[in-house]
Amino acid sequence: MLDIESHPTTSVSTETPPDKINLLGLSREKMEAFCIAQGEKPFRAQQLLKWIHHNGVADFDAMTNISKNLRAQLKECAEVRPPEVVSEQTSKDGTRKWAIKIPGGGLVETVLIPDGERGTLCVSSQVGCSLDCTFCSTGKQGFQRDLTASEIIGQVWLAIKSYDAFPSNNKKIVTNVVMMGMGEPLLNFDNVVDAMNIMLDDFGYGISKRRVTLSTSGVVPALDRLGDISQVSLAISLHAPNDELRNQLVPINRRYPIADLLAACRRYWEKQSDTHRVTTVEYILLAGVNDSTEHARELVHLLKDFPCKINLIPFNPFPSSGYERPSKNAVSRFWQILSDSHIVSTIRSTRGDDIDAACGQLVGLVEDRTKRSQRHRAKSSQVQALEITG
Ligand code: SAH
Ligand code: SF4
């Protein structure tokens, strides 16, 4: 059974949790509640948010419009603690990747993809993932823990810090955020929503709701909840044109099949005020698995009346994945069939190859802890045993 309804939201860390509250992850609402609890007026929340997210200030002493008494009080009970970066690498195409050490064990990665005026930050939401999609190296790690809201928004903070491009400097390095790093964001709902609210907030990063995208493999009930409270853009990881194949590639499909997922996307957009926005459908192309002309035609049939644009993602290989990236010809043939049927589709270009910054490769070389892999290992050792005894 898939562990998709709930899992511990608390850290599995054996370290003593810090007793100071990390203000980095407080949405405006929570920052106001914090200020009131300190005996302060709610407007202090705006000042704190601006210091942290507009100016990139983590030291209370530098917050000069806050009284010395209050600064002292804040130092007692709070902190602004960004995540700990263990490495920063920049690709020759400008893509930059940070590896972040997560207290309690594990690493997550964040990737910035600059493209002219645009800078897209790919943010992680969990250490590992419980959903075990067969082509995903994060899935192979199994689930370790949810990131806190501070650890999620902290990825935006540190990316901007590394370019010294906080809004107060009139530079803009992160124009778009995609929740497409490690983990399934809808399984870490509250922390992801808090972090996305800070991305959208004018006292936070002031990014337009169209430029913050949540990608999900299809946790339908959580998607319905999201539609009630958020207006961010939506991407779904479809990867197959029918349930039979999707059941194999994206196991959560066995619980929430394609028709249910597409219906949930429609409901999501029905709740939004601007009706012209559409779902981005991600479709990874795996050689000989889901990339034939028949698959393309089946996809056209499936999506012909579904408001969407398709993003084709040639598979990014990692060791022992068992899959291969299709040839350029196979990718363009697939794209052509969609295009001939007037379905808007793009092919995702691979960026940051030299620093392993592509989708599904993040923290790629880790131990494979999934049941699938254990079964596979057990099977191969049986085969080996047979070979030896036979
Ligand atoms: N859990 C969410 C978001 C993180 S994965 C989701 O599944 O949507 C972000 C995207 O990267 C998804 O579309 C996922 O299917 C894709 N991906 C995972 N592994 C990949 C790989 N090896 N090559 C290319 N894309 C991959
Ligand atoms: Fe999890 Fe997304 Fe990877 Fe699937 S593709 S295992 S949902 S991170």
How far, CA to CA in Å, does 158 sit from each of 27, 84, 154, 175, 351? 17, 9, 6, 14, 20
The class level of CATH for 82-381 reads alpha beta
Angstrom distance (rounded) from CA 299 to CA 280: 14
CB 281 within 8 A of CB 318: no
Tokens for 389, please give them: 């005894």
CATH 1.10.150.530 spans which residues of the chain?
Answer: 21-79
Question: Among residues 312, 308, 280, which one has the least CA distance to residue 296?
Answer: 312
What pLDDT score was predicted for residue 18?
Answer: 60
First to last CA, the chain: 35
Statement: residue 344 has pLDDT above 60: yes
Atom of ligand 1 at shortest range from CA of 235: 8
* Strand-pair partners of 97: 89, 111
Atom of ligand 2 at shortest range from CA of 183: 8
Statement: residue 27 has pLDDT above 70: yes
Q: Distance, CA 359 to ligand 2 centroid (Å)?
A: 10
**What pTM was computed for the model?**
0.89
CB 126 within 8 A of CB 132: no
Instruction: Say which residue the tokens 């009284």 belong to.
Output: 67
Instruction: Say which residue the tokens 């050490």 belong to.
Output: 101
Q: Provide the residue type at 241 as one letter.
A: P
Angstrom distance (rounded) from CA 194 to CA 198: 6
Statement: residue 380 has pLDDT above 50: no
Second-level CATH architecture of 21-79: Orthogonal Bundle (1.10)
Nearest CA owner, ligand 1 atom 14 = 237
* Strand-pair partners of 310: 281, 345
Atom of ligand 1 at shortest range from CA of 282: 13
CB 372 within 8 A of CB 149: no
SS3 213: strand
Of all residues in the chain, what percent carry a pLDDT higher than 70? 86
What sign does the CA torsion over 370, 98, 193, 82 have? positive
Residues with catalytic function: 109, 359
Angstrom distance (rounded) from CA 45 to CA 51: 10
Q: Distance, CA 357 to ligand 2 centroid (Å)?
A: 16
Indicate the range of 15-24, 87-96, 325-334 predicted with least confidence: 15-24
SS3 101: strand
CB 108 within 8 A of CB 363: yes
Nearest CA owner, ligand 2 atom 4 = 133
Nearest CA owner, ligand 1 atom 18 = 360
Candidate of 180, 188, 236, 249 to mutate for ligand 1, largest count of ligand atoms within 8 Å of Cβ = 180
Of all residues in the chain, what percent carry a pLDDT higher than 90? 78
Helix (H) or strand (E) holding 215: strand 212-216
Query: Which residues, 6 or more positions from 171, have their beta carbon under 8 angstroms from its beta carbon?
Result: 163, 164, 165
CATH 3.20.20.70 spans which residues of the chain?
Answer: 82-381
Angstrom distance (rounded) from CA 319 to CA 364: 8
194-222, pLDDT tens digit by residue?
999 999 999 999 999 999 999 999 999 99
Nearest CA owner, ligand 1 atom 1 = 184
What residues does ligand 1 touch, defined as CB less than 6 Å away? Answer: 135-136, 180, 184, 215-217, 237, 282, 284, 313, 315-316, 359-360
Statement: residue 332 has pLDDT above 60: yes
Statement: residue 251 has pLDDT above 80: yes
